[in-house]
Chain A
Amino acid sequence: QKEVEQNSGPLSVPEGAIASLNCTYSDRGSQSFFWYRQYSGKSPELIMFIYSNGDKEDGRFTAQLNKASQYVSLLIRDSQPSDSATYLCAVCMYSGGGADGLTFGKGTHLIIQP
């Protein structure tokens, strides 16, 4: 049974600080990893993906992957009130070559306090 675990929160972070979101996964065969942001009443929006161990930066967002520890994280620098949302971690078993569904965590509810 493939599982993705996230702390449901809420995680409260002051505006301008770094928000750190964590995710662990059970399937060692997982190859690609995604972070989605979901505002209340809206559909998930892809904000980051990572395939290799290490860090990947995109603007204020940094995704970190440690396959040995089966751990993925998302850092949001200079947090803004507009970053308040639920962040979903998703994993996929294959890195490519076919269409594969994603396994999602329940999400972490992030609140940025002005």
Chain B
Amino acid sequence: ETGVTQTPRHLVMGMTNKKSLKCEQHLGHNAMYWYKQSAKKPLELMFVYSLEERVENNSVPSRFSPECPNSSHLFLHLHTLQPEDSALYLCASSQEQGPRPNEQFFGPGTRLTVL
């Protein structure tokens, strides 16, 4: 596979469930990101990982928990979500300190519905 992949592509969960979103990048990048895209709102940055360390947490509720075990994989663990958390969750990656910094490539996204 090439580029940035995300699984699952669609997820429906109840408010008491625990689930995880997975992202994998095949671009040799060393930075990964989670964004949230809700209807009628701009893309919102959630988390930034650089060299597997979290460098930014944009005031995200603790019911979202990221994990970056290595530079190719990123997870978003979900628990006790609210209906307003329903959105498209996008993963992106970039090459830090390269000739084209901050150029971020997005995966296809996970469409999350919380009932």
Q: Is chain B a partner of chain A in the same complex?
A: yes
Across the interface, which residues of A come within 8 angstroms of B62, CB to CB? none
Chain A residue at smallest Cβ distance from B107? A43
Q: How many residues of B contact A (CB 8 A)?
A: 31
The reply to whether A99 and B100 form a contact with Cβ atoms under 8 Å apart is no
Q: Within 8 Å of chain A (Cβ to Cβ): is B55?
A: yes
The reply to whether B50 and A44 form a contact with Cβ atoms under 8 Å apart is no
Q: Of A42, A96, A104, which is within 8 A of B43 by CB?
A: A104
The reply to whether B100 and A49 form a contact with Cβ atoms under 8 Å apart is yes
Q: Within 8 Å of chain B (Cβ to Cβ): is A58?
A: no
Q: Within 8 Å of chain A (Cβ to Cβ): is B25?
A: no
CB distance from B104 to the nearest CB of A (A): 6
Q: Of B48, B56, B102, B109, which is within 8 A of A96 by CB?
A: B102
Known interface pairs A43-B90, A43-B108; A100-B43 also in contact (CB < 8 Å)? no
Q: How many residues of A contact B (CB 8 A)?
A: 27
The segment from A10-18, A59-67, A87-95 found at the interface with B is A87-95
The reply to whether A98 and B100 form a contact with Cβ atoms under 8 Å apart is no
The reply to whether B106 and A101 form a contact with Cβ atoms under 8 Å apart is no
Which residues of chain A (49-86) have a CB below 8 Å from chain B? Answer: 49
The reply to whether A32 and B106 form a contact with Cβ atoms under 8 Å apart is no
Q: List 26 A-B contacts (CB under 8 A).
A: A4-B42, A32-B102, A42-B108, A43-B106, A43-B107, A43-B109, A44-B43, A44-B90, A88-B43, A92-B102, A95-B101, A95-B102, A96-B102, A97-B101, A99-B31, A99-B48, A99-B50, A99-B55, A99-B96, A101-B35, A101-B48, A104-B42, A104-B44, A105-B42, A106-B41, A107-B42
